[in-house]
Amino acid sequence: MADKVENRIEELREKIRENDYKYYVLAEPSISDEEYDKLIKDLEKLEVENPQLVTPDSPTQRVGKDLTKDFKPVVHKVPMLSLANTYNEEELFDFDRRVHSGLPEGEKVEYVVEPKIDGASVSLNYVNGYLKTAATRGDGIVGEEITINVKTIKAVPLRLKNLKSNKYKLKDFEARGEIFMNVKDFLKLNKEREEQGEKLFANPRNSSAGTLKLQDPKIVAKRPLDIFLYMLVSTEEEFESQYENLKILKELGFKVNPEYILCKSIDEVLAACRKLEEKRESLEYEIDGAVIKVNSIRQQKILGSIAKAPRWAVAFKFKAKQAFTTLNKITWQVGRTGSVTPVAELEPVFLSGSTISRATLHNYDEIKRKDIREKDRVVIEKGGDVIPKVVAVVINERPKNSKPARPPDNCPVCSTPLYKPENEVAYYCENSECPAQIKGRLEHFAARGAMDIDGLGEALIDLFVEKGFLHTYADIYDLKERRDELIAIERLGEKSVYNLLRSIEESKRQPFEKALFAIGIRYVGAGAARKLADHFLSIDNLMKASEEEISKVHEIGPSISSSVKEFFSTEKNLKIIKRLIDHGLNFKTEKKAAVNSFFTGKTFVLTGTLANFSREEAAEKIMSLGGNVSSSVSKKTDYVLAGESAGSKLDKAKSLGVTILTEDEFLKQLNEN
Ligand code: IVH
């Protein structure tokens, strides 16, 4: 009897798996939706009755129930490299020359050209045929584990096809690729978000990357994510070529983009790139270029990598997509720091996946330089950046009575006269009580990279400021006292107020570096906040530090240090910070002193070019694990980390008998610590 149930369960799973494969990987469905739903229901029922038979790879386990607050770090077994870019024929031919000169003379080189999918890269680790973990690229060395979210993507096999007849030595390997969203699905998602008053995603890439970081896999499961795999990484099996790897990936049940082409010369590569560029508009997903890879894995190994990118592959970036439209009006927007920047209000025009009605004009100098005027016919462009820009004016279509644009004399929001510092291009509203600045500071504080308060977006902040509930960001933590007033607001209701207040309370757990970024000190971006937090460990220490001490922190310049000092010498700011501390925000870091790590207390000197890191990144890793980094070799040096073309420092290390680490040895220590 038990056997019978087990067999029936396995039979249902196999049918569902097969159908998922046909529907999501091959796009060739073979049963109706009703039949499919029935299979799932039958399986769910049997699994509820026999919970001991539920396995992690069962199709019912795609949507996990648990929420994740933190995504665990994963060290990639083989670093996830990025690609150098080329933009024209000449640069592509240079790449081909570099490839040939790196190989034994006279060797023939074949290339594979693939579309460069504009999504979020992911590495899937399969052990004994089952999906074990999925990780983001992160900084290439350490990514974040997003397995429960990736499992919701039906095109990702939870177990491999042809498992039993697997003829390859692939016990533990990674399949790498790109998670993306079709343009149509992305537009639909944005439309729904608009109807619900939620913030729109700028493009399919952002919506994929944002979705993968959601804490609730149930929401992820509802988002139309898809995947293409393009790389097979194994330390067990020696493969022949990229072309063969793509074939093996397909055999194992992965979805591989069908547009790849094998080329026998760089001329063929160029033709293939041009063909892909022509095809770009007719594809259902966004591509921003082509990727060219040396086909032979043997040759790839000879060529190796340098400065975070392989020498055997390159991206050929397509031209940014452009469109013509009319610039109806130039408006001036006041940011959270009071900077007043021009925005082009455009006649709406559709361009690569979205309708564009506004574009940045950067600053007044830029307007003057390009002589951009109201009512001009303009060319707009959407490149890799999120924000579209006006690139040129069609001068011969300019209306006769047009006049050059001028910046306003007064703040468009609070009418305070504007001020322009001599050495800056921006104009500023200096009234820190300007409503636009108040709203801007609140939005920045609540945003994803800062306190990450889910649900507290632009629209709600506007409303709360207008109602007088919010003035400074410390007021956010008093909103709980107004629960009844909030529930009474028509578009809110009990459930959303509950969720909002919960996210506000949860935000108190954000780490110090995020809180420091959130308070919006001018020039202190996310990176500077991290460096300051790592160095000073608490807001008290930072407040006590002199300007000179602050500017001594690695990569913290004089404008940041003087701005930090100024921020903390303003009475009003100090009062707000005190309220935040009283509310229990996290303004301290526990130093991650790696006890007895290989790096603890050791002094390192870095020299030469590393393949997987910049020198600064390697230095940061060493310091974060308790080591020190010095610029010159002496008897006190414990290790010299030597990359390619290391020079005199390496010689000196040898003469002093200092231990020399290769990049591989260094990576190994990073993995173990
Ligand atoms: S290969 C060592 N192939 O582009 C080779 N990357 O700019 C590394 N990408 O991080 C990647 N389509 O996220 C490769 N067919 C493709 C790709 C592709 C998109 C992304 C990937 C990578 C980025 C590099």
pLDDT tens for 250-283 read 999 999 999 999 999 999 999 999 999 999 989 9
DSSP string, 128-143: TTEEEEEEE-TTSSEE
**Active-site pick, 4, 22, 38, 116:** 116
Average of pLDDT values for 49-69? 83
∠ Cα 490 503 484 (to 5°):
35
In what helix (H) or strand (E) does residue 111 lie, and over which residues does it extend?
A: strand 111-117
Fold for 75-317, please state it.
D-amino Acid Aminotransferase; Chain A, domain 1 (3.30.470)
* pLDDT at res. 529: 94
CATH homologous superfamily for 603-672?
BRCT domain (3.40.50.10190)
pLDDT of residue 152: 94
- Strand (E) positions, 395-551? 427-428
Best of 81, 111, 117, 137 for a ligand 1 pocket test (most atoms within 8 Å of beta carbon): 117
pLDDT value at position 386?
61
- Model confidence at 165, pLDDT cuts 50, 70, 90, reads low
pLDDT reading at 67 higher than 80: no
- CATH architecture, domain 322-421: Beta Barrel (2.40)
Ligand 1 centroid distance, CA of 396 (Å): 42
DSSP-derived 3-state class of residue 537: coil
Looking at the predicted structure, is the pLDDT value of residue 591 above 70? no
Position with higher pLDDT, 594 vs 637: 637
Q: How far is residue 262's CA from residue 649's CA, in Å, rounded to a whole number? A: 44
Mean pLDDT of 553-576: 92
Fold match between domain 432-509 and domain 512-582: yes
Q: Whose CA is nearest to atom 2 of ligand 1?
A: 81
Domain limits of the chain? 2-61, 75-317, 322-421, 432-509, 512-582, 603-672
Residue 37, classed as helix, strand or coil, is: helix
Mean pLDDT to the nearest integer, 13-31 = 90
> pLDDT higher for 161 or 575?
575
Give catalytic status of residue 116 as yes or no. Answer: yes
Strand partners, 344: 330, 359
The pLDDT-based confidence of 619 (bands split at 50, 70, 90) is: confident
pLDDT score, position 166: 66
Give dist(CA 252, CA 100) in Å, integer: 33
Name the band, by pLDDT with cuts 50, 70 and 90, for residue 610: confident
Mean pLDDT score of the chain: 90
370 pLDDT more than 90: yes
Q: Which residues line ligand 1 (CB under 6 A)?
A: 81-83, 114, 116-117, 121, 137, 178, 230-231, 291, 310, 313, 315
More confident residue, 260 or 352: 260
Q: What confidence tier does 195 reach under pLDDT thresholds 50, 70, 90?
A: confident
Q: What is the pTM of this model?
A: 0.68
CA of 205 to the centre of ligand 1 (A): 13
Confidence of residue 73 (pLDDT cuts 50, 70, 90): confident
Can you name the CATH fold of 2-61? Helix Hairpins (1.10.287)
Q: Which helix (H) or strand (E) holds 183?
A: helix 183-195
Report the pLDDT averaged over residues 574-578.
96
Q: How far is CA 259 from CA 115, 116, 208, 347, 362, in A?
A: 7, 10, 21, 35, 38
Inform me whether the pLDDT recorded for 293 exceeds 60.
Answer: yes
Question: Which atom of ligand 1 is found nearest the CA of 257?
Answer: 15
Tokens 């690229």 belong to 137
- pLDDT at site 312: 97
| Amino acid in the structure at residue 654 | K
* Mean pLDDT confidence for 474-499: 92
pLDDT in tens, 408-424: 999 999 999 999 998 88
Domain at 432-509: CATH architecture: Orthogonal Bundle (1.10)
pLDDT tens-place string over residues 504-542:
999 999 999 999 999 999 999 988 998 899 899 999 999
CATH class of 512-582: mainly alpha
